[in-house]
Structure 1
Amino acid sequence: MADAREHDLDGTRGTLFVREWPHPRPRCLALLVHGYGEHSGRYGEVARVLTGHGASVWAPDHAGHGRSAGERVLIEDFEDVVTDVESVAARARAAHPGLPLVVLGHSMGGLIAARHAQRYRGTLAALVLSGPVIGAWRTPGRLLAAADATGAVPAVPVSPAALSRDPAVGAAYAADPLVWHGPMKRPTLEAFVRTLETVDKGGDLGGLPLLWLHGDDDRLVPLPGSRTGVERLGGGAHTERIFPGARHEVFHETCKEEAFAELTGFLDRVLPR
């Protein structure tokens, strides 16, 4: 795989840092949408699989994340993040006109990707959701309800052990200076609550090919809550693969080769040759 190229785009909240993993003759565009508190640099292996399968891969660091501008992990309106994602998609289309676009969103990125698919209907060839924050995700409401008299929410950072059964994944996450290791912020939690409701009411995707991947031991985004949102979004016609024993990050799990095979097999089925 070629080394990643780096771009700076004008985002809704300042400079947006974007990685591009190029392909000399791509058959499709793939847009990676990362999760809460992390950054696009954690998706190098997913990008390798996708470029090896003919994709030109693009991935922004969201506002307040990674190397993009903004107060750390502060998202006041997810609609702005969706607009940023579409700006990256537009840059990718300008580089490779006419190619089908696949959007892959993980965790919080699944919420963003789902909303992007609703807002930009007809521009995607397929949607992939990995451990998506969608449907009945209770964490934001619980943290907001537990706020103290000053309005401060409890400090409950992401546990590295919740990501994967591979201890090296958790160790790398804990040591990554671009990962946020502090508490969630009240405006971000409130934005989660609003956007979960927006996506829930935004309707299904009208037959857009949708692949849902999830670990059945995901304690950060439990599977049953995601199922309600995915089934509503996909209109009951989605493809799903649940990995027994897997935790939150199936592409970093001990079963990651199976997850990659599901991803590439799905793309082969839904994209033109």
Structure 2
Amino acid sequence: MTEAREHVLTGTRGRLTARAWPAGRPTYVALLVHGYGEHIGRYDEVASVLTEHGAAVYGVDHAGHGRSDGERVLIEDFEDVVTDVHTVAERARAAHPGLPVVMIGHSMGGLIASRYAQRHPGGLTALVLSGPVVGDWELPRRLLALDEIPDTPISPASLSRDPAVGAAYAADPLVWHGPMKRPTLEAFVRTLETVAKGGDVGRLPLLWVHGDDDRLVPLPGSRVGVERLSGGDLTERIYPGARHEVFNETNRAEVFADVTRFLDRVLPR
């Protein structure tokens, strides 16, 4: 597995910890955008697949996540998080001038990546969304209707059919295991609306991967958002029985193969 290097960057809300997984002679740059409550260190296997495919891979712990500064899981404005991801993208572009850039966003990272593509048209060569929080996601509205947010952490069993994935998640000290926070839920609602109204991404090739047993971000709600976001070059792969983290699922080899085949099609030869 490729050894990652850590970098400290200045973000909109303080220090950010970023990771770079180098490739010997990369042919493209891949930017990984992680989900809610987790951190970029959980993407070592994804990064290894991509570096073997020819990518120089970069990712960052969002503010309030992982090793980055900020109150845990507090995101008051996702536009700031998109700006932080752009800071990492610019660093990657400076290190690899002229290479095409693809972005891979999971769950909340799919929302961030979608907004990034809207804010930076022409900046990406391809976009991959995994179980993305786009479209009609009812959880924030349901929780905000309550007087008090329940202290109910994400169930590790909802992530993957592989019990080792849930066990590692539950034991990970960099993962948030507490309740969601009201300002973050409010920011989710605003940004879902912003992305819905932000227009499509034109001819940007888009790959959507999703488990059909995803109970955290149900597939039908995401479909609404993905189809609205796509400008026409949409590839979808729905995996029967798979849960929320398809990159950590029991059929992840199939998922990785679908991602690399997609990139082979859309990247410049």
TM-score, normalised to structure 2's length? 0.99
Percent of residue pairs bearing the same amino acid type = 77
Q: Supply the distance in 2 between the matched residues of 1:98 and 1:87 (Cα, whole angstroms).
A: 17
- Give the SS at the match of 1:65: coil
Deviation per CA, 1:24-57, whole angstroms, max 9, x where unpaired?
A: 2100000000000000000000000000000000
Counterpart check, 1:110 vs 2:149: no
Residue 130 (structure 1) aligns with: 130
Q: 1:176 aligns with which of 167, 172, 175?
A: 172
Residue 62 (structure 2) aligns with: 62
Counterpart check, 1:160 vs 2:156: yes
TM-superposed deviation, 1:272: 1.1
Q: Supply the distance in 1 between the matched residues of 2:141 and 2:69 (Cα, whole angstroms).
A: 27
Counterpart check, 1:218 vs 2:218: no
Whichever residue aligns with residue 160 of structure 2, its letter is: S
Q: 1:233 aligns with which of 229, 234, 240?
A: 229
8 Å CA contact 2:39–2:61 kept in 1: the answer is yes
- Give the SS at the match of 2:79: helix
- Give the SS at the match of 1:10: strand
Residue 87 (structure 1) aligns with: 87
Q: Supply the distance in 2 between the matched residues of 1:155 and 1:124 (Cα, whole angstroms).
A: 38
Q: Supply the distance in 2 between the matched residues of 1:61 and 1:2 (Cα, whole angstroms).
A: 18
Q: 2:260 aligns with which of 259, 264, 268?
A: 264
Segments of 4+ in structure 1 off by > 4 A?
A: none
Q: Supply the distance in 1 between the matched residues of 2:257 and 2:182 (Cα, whole angstroms).
A: 38
Residue 248 (structure 1) aligns with: 244
Counterparts in 2 of 1:145 and 1:236: CA distance versus 1, 3 Å: farther
Residue 22 (structure 1) aligns with: 22
TM-superposed deviation, 1:2: 3.1
Identify unmatched segments of 5+ residues in structure 1.
none
Q: Supply the distance in 1 between the matched residues of 2:163 and 2:2 (Cα, whole angstroms).
A: 28
- Give the SS at the match of 1:92: helix
Q: Supply the distance in 1 between the matched residues of 2:140 and 2:199 (Cα, whole angstroms).
A: 22
Whichever residue aligns with residue 138 of structure 1, its letter is: E
Whichever residue aligns with residue 180 of structure 1, its letter is: W
Aligned residues: 269
- Give the SS at the match of 2:42: helix
Whichever residue aligns with residue 270 of structure 1, its letter is: V
TM-superposed deviation, 1:157: 1.3
TM-superposed deviation, 1:19: 0.6
- Give the SS at the match of 1:105: strand
Identify unmatched segments of 5+ residues in structure 2.
none
8 Å CA contact 2:5–2:21 kept in 1: the answer is yes
TM-superposed deviation, 1:153: 1.6
Counterparts in 2 of 1:236 and 1:138: CA distance versus 1, 3 Å: farther
TM-superposed deviation, 1:236: 4.3
Deviation per CA, 1:36-86, whole angstroms, max 9, x where unpaired?
A: 000000000000000000000001000000000000000000000000000
Deviation per CA, 1:93-123, whole angstroms, max 9, x where unpaired?
A: 0000000000000000000000000000101
TM-superposed deviation, 1:252: 0.3
Q: Supply the distance in 2 between the matched residues of 1:171 and 1:75 (Cα, whole angstroms).
A: 26
8 Å CA contact 2:202–2:232 kept in 1: the answer is no
Deviation per CA, 1:186-239, whole angstroms, max 9, x where unpaired?
A: 000000000000000000001100000000000000000000000000034310
- Give the SS at the match of 2:150: coil
Residue 119 (structure 1) aligns with: 119
